[in-house]
Structure 1
Amino acid sequence: MLTTAPDLDSARKLASGALNARLAACVTQLGAVHSSYHWHNKIESADEIQLLFKTSAARALELEQYIQTHHPYDTPEILSWQATASVAYGQWINAETQRTLHV
């Protein structure tokens, strides 16, 4: 899942929150990007930090909701797609995004 954040502090908060909640196994900060976009009938531009969240299919919707709720933008970019991973990497993602059940 991909999103952009307005600054490094926001990016770090989104990443650490998702990791702490086990919604992602890994978050890669892809770095600074410059975005140009239509917003309220004008063309705007902004420097942003791009983040790539690696999660399981079981946690994708929860991760999307987490980003939507905790993101500083009113309408954050949230792009997701399914990817094929190596067996070992896929198993690691699934294991790291499972929650421990307390009995």
Structure 2
Amino acid sequence: MKYSEAACNSRPDIDFFPTGKLGDLPRARRTAPAIALCLNECGRRVSCARDAIKMGVLHGVIAGVDLGDMSSNGGSLKSPVYRKQVETLYAVAGIPLPSAVA
């Protein structure tokens, strides 16, 4: 499936890469529409996860997994929450965790 066929490609109104604070709106509430679209309407989840891993895009909502924003997780796998999110993305992609991560 091509990227142009992904559900997110037709929804510019949904923010897949929210950063910073938006008033008092919690991140989970801000990312819920993106996660729901990925999980319920997109047939490209697996290839999306694989593409993101291949390109090193490990922030935002990818394949229905909220990886947080770069300012909050800093890309550090030392954070148990971020590590779990990355593990979930690899599981969706069907790719074993690299030894440096595992």
Q: TM-score, normalised by structure 1?
A: 0.27
Report which of the two structures shows the higher radius of gyration computed on alpha carbons.
1
TM-score under structure 2 length normalisation: 0.27
* Structure with a larger share of its residues in strand: 1
